[in-house]
């Protein structure tokens, strides 16, 4: 995944639609949270086995929600000046130290 390319493409969509005024860090964090809730809704009331074996249509829907979440997080990182790759690598290294 080329984060810079994805962010560039997102910014092109944002700018074409004049959405930058809506893309404050607060709004982007809330939008990511809403999309996360939509992902959670797919699994609501499913057993553990059902959640691991989603039908094709639900699996596709889950993938769309994951995409929405990641795209909002990319926009949030760009707005805050966070290097997403560095942040993820640092968090992973921290988890490796703490849990291995």
For residue range 23-65, what is the model confidence (pLDDT) as tens digits?
999 999 999 999 999 999 999 999 999 999 999 999 999 999 9
Angle between the N-to-C axes of helices 56-80 and 3-16, in degrees from 0 to 180, rounded to the nearest 10: 90
Q: Where are the domains of the chain?
A: 3-99
Q: What is the DSSP string of the chain?
A: --HHHHHHHHHHHHHHTT-GGG--HHHHHHHHHHHHHHHHHHHTT--HHHHHS--HHHHHHHHHHHHHHHHHHHHHHHHHT--HHHHHHHHHHHHHHHH-
State which CATH number among 3.40.50.920, 2.40.128.630, 1.10.3720.10, 1.10.287.1080 fits the domain covering 3-99: 1.10.287.1080
User: Looking at residue 1, what is its pLDDT?
Assistant: 84
Mean pLDDT of 12-21: 98
pLDDT at position 100 over 90: yes
The answer for residues whose C-beta is within 8 angstroms of residue 25's C-beta and 6 or more apart is 76, 79, 80
């Amino acid at each position: 995944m080329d984060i810079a390319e994805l962010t560039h493409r997102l910014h092109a969509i944002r700018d074409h639609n004049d959405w930058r005024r809506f893309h404050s860090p607060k709004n982007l964090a809330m939008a990511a949270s809403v999309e996360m809730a939509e992902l959670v809704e797919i699994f609501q009331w499913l057993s553990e086995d059902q959640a691991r074996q989603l039908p094709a249509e639900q699996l596709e829907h889950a993938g769309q929600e994951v995409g929405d979440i990641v795209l909002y997080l990319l926009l949030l990182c760009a707005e805050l000046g966070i290097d997403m790759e560095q942040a993820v690598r640092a968090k992973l290294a921290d988890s490796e130290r703490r849990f291995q």
